[in-house]
Amino acid sequence: MSAEQRLSDHERALYSRQIRLPGVGESGQLRLREAKVLLLGAGGLGSPVGLYLAAAGVGLIGIADPDKVEISNLHRQIVHGFDTLGLPKTISAAEALGEINPGLKVVLHPEGFTIDNAAELAARYDIVVDGTDNFATRFLAADSCVLGNRPLVHGSVLREAGQVGVFLPGKGCYRCLYPVMPDAGAVPTCAEAGVFGATCGVIGSWMASEVIAVLLGKRAASRLQVVDVAAGVSKLVALAADPACPCCGAAPTIRSLEKAAYAPTACQTQSPMSETPLEVTVEEAQRLLSGPNPPLLIDVREADEFALCRIEGARLIPMNSVPTRLAEIPQDVPVLVQCHHGGRSMKVTQFLRAKGYPRVSNVKGGIEAWSLKIDPKVPRY
């Protein structure tokens, strides 16, 4: 083993508490030292991600951010301080990371992560970490990682909630969850809705943990963690590659990075939990449907399934035809989406929310649960 393949005594002392962890050891620490991580955004999420990765001994961190440090950043973007106000965030962040780990190599990308450099940057690094706050960059990062065969760790935060996604090549991507980039104005921004700095710390620290886990080979599947700090709840959503995904599916429509597809929308953060619940039980669905202002119930199964059984009043729009039949779904009424077991309808619910429908909920368990719990006269199949 050459000196380059061994840890120095200094490194052994520095990382001693980490090296003793299962799955790390000296070989894991060397893997971290060899790793090249691209950090998109040196903001509320990028701050804790960068600090923890630097402290953990990641060898090289690239920082892509085109912005300068502003006073309204400081309550949450803890790599920056009053002494770096007005400086490019890349420089300010590099100083802070260098202080925590002088052995770290930092590469600055003050032009940010753009359509012009995305493919090249994704190829130069082992993993991409997305802590940006706008959909254009978020989808660009997601697609670059699929096309460049790179893992992506994604985070977003709003108010007191957020989410952390891990997307491994071939195991399901960001577009498997959110097929279409939302329109401008579909969701509130952090500037409009507000955000707690400590919530950024929760989500960003979780992202850093996931980056380290991926680098150490400890993640085998893509997954999404939805965290609501206010409610004290976090939920793990398992992900599988969707054969119909426009980017990683069997017949992808996104085969290269096209400028028009990533036209910037305003600084927006996807709200992981809007006031309308993402999912309702069949009991709740029945209560709403029999109430004074019943929601529109959309059945997204296929026509032959609909012919077998249906919930009275449901309108059939099979999942694959939803994108071309949006005109039939009004935006100003509450909508329930239902299928056989709740899987397809959850995808459509997420899709409609991404398209700017704020009051859409999935019916948990689908018509199967309806038949078991509400109306046994509806045949099961």
Contact residues toward Zn ion (CB under 5 A) are 173, 175-176, 245, 247-248
Q: Is residue 190 annotated as part of the catalytic site, yes or no?
A: yes
Write down the number of H helices and E strands in the chain. 14, 13
Residue 24 near residue 31, CB atoms below 8 Å: no
**CB of 198 or CB of 237, closer to Zn ion:** 237
CB nearer to Zn ion: pick between 94 and 248? 248
Dihedral (CA of 163, 230, 295, 297) sign: positive
**Minimum distance between the CB of residue 242 and Zn ion, rounded to whole angstroms?**
6
CB of 187 to Zn ion, least distance (A): 21
- Give percent helix, percent strand, percent coil of the chain, each to the nearest 5: 40, 15, 45
Instruction: For residue 339, indicate whether it is catalytic.
Output: yes
Q: What is the CA radius of gyration of the chain?
A: 23
Give the whole-angstrom CA distance, residue 369 versus residue 381: 12
Output the smallest distance, CB 377 to Zn ion, in A. 39
DSSP string, 129-149: EE--SSHHHHHHHHHHHHHHT
**Cα–Cα distance measured from residue 185 to residue 271, given in angstroms and rounded to the nearest whole number:** 12
Cβ proximity to Zn ion, 84 vs 222, nearer residue: 222
Nearest residue to Zn ion by CB is: 245
Query: Cβ closer to Zn ion: 173 or 216?
Result: 173
Q: Is 80 exposed, middle or buried (0-12, 13-18, 19+ CB in 10 A)?
A: buried
> Minimum Å distance from CB 352 to Zn ion?
18
Closest to Zn ion by CB, 80 or 175: 175
The continuous run of DSSP H or E covering 238 comes out as strand 233-238
Of the residues 173, 176, 190, 309, only one is catalytic, namely 190
249 vs 365, which CB is nearer to Zn ion? 249
Count CB neighbours of 197 within 10 A.
16
CB of 154 to Zn ion, least distance (A): 13
Helix (H, G, I), strand (E, B) or coil at 26: helix
Kindly report the number of other CB atoms within 10 A of residue 283's CB atom: 13
Active site amino acids: 190, 339
